[in-house]
A and B are shown apart, each in its own frame.
Chain A
């Protein structure tokens, strides 16, 4: 089965840049997307097709995907960005999520 690996936690100071990675075998050959989930809420798509933002997602969210690693970057991180972030890719006829990264803004 296909696996996606994320760091369990990332910390960032307000206003700084947060970087969350997602690793998988030849992940760059697939499309990666990212979800934000705040406590008690459903996930929200923040990046699709590696680097595209859905309507309503702030420009400070960006993404890239190459080789074995997809990256979610949050520039000028705000307190409201504190959440769990999940990468996801499609593998054949199934879907795979990374284990999630807790982003702490402190």
Chain B
């Protein structure tokens, strides 16, 4: 069974840093592109970042470029999102999602999400 389990969310002050993790199981993690998507409670989904299967290529939304870094450890089956210079507008539930191999660009499995709150 495919599972994605996020962790690392919490309360952080503006300007602070946080690292999210997404532990993957039930599939060959090293074969899949992975993404982070966020959602302000009560609002819509917003794509944040993606990384290719071996970690050699990444892409970011303009709103986080230069502040967030996506990475992965295929030996540990874990995806990461390092978030620096956090702002109040980064407050959201952060989901990791697996990109489908059947349909590149769509996400066939999602984690349960981890809440990040940026507030003083």
Same assembly: yes
A7 proximal to B (CB < 8 A): no
Bound together, the chains give a CA A97 to CA B40 distance in angstroms of: 14
Point out the residues of chain B lying under 8 angstroms from A98, CB to CB: 44
Could you list which residues of chain B lie within 8 angstroms of chain A, going by C-beta atoms? 35, 37, 44-47, 50, 59, 61-62, 95, 100, 102-108, 110-113
Interface of A, secondary structure class, is strand
Given contacts A42-B111, A95-B35, is CB(A49)–CB(B106) below 8 Å?
yes
For the A-B complex, the count of residue pairs with Cβ-Cβ distances under 8 Å equals 63
B44 pairs with A48, CB closer than 8 A? no
CA A53 – CA B102 in complex, angstroms? 11
Give chain B nearest CB distance to A62 CB in angstroms. 16
CB distance from A35 to the nearest CB of B (A): 7
* Chain A window 64-106, contacts with chain B (Cβ cutoff 8 Å), 1 for yes, 0 for no: 0000000000000000000000101110011111111000000
9 closest A-B pairs by beta carbon, nearest first, are A90-B105, A48-B103, A33-B106, A95-B47, A42-B110, A100-B44, A93-B59, A48-B106, A97-B45
- B59: which A residues are within 8 A, CB to CB? 93-94
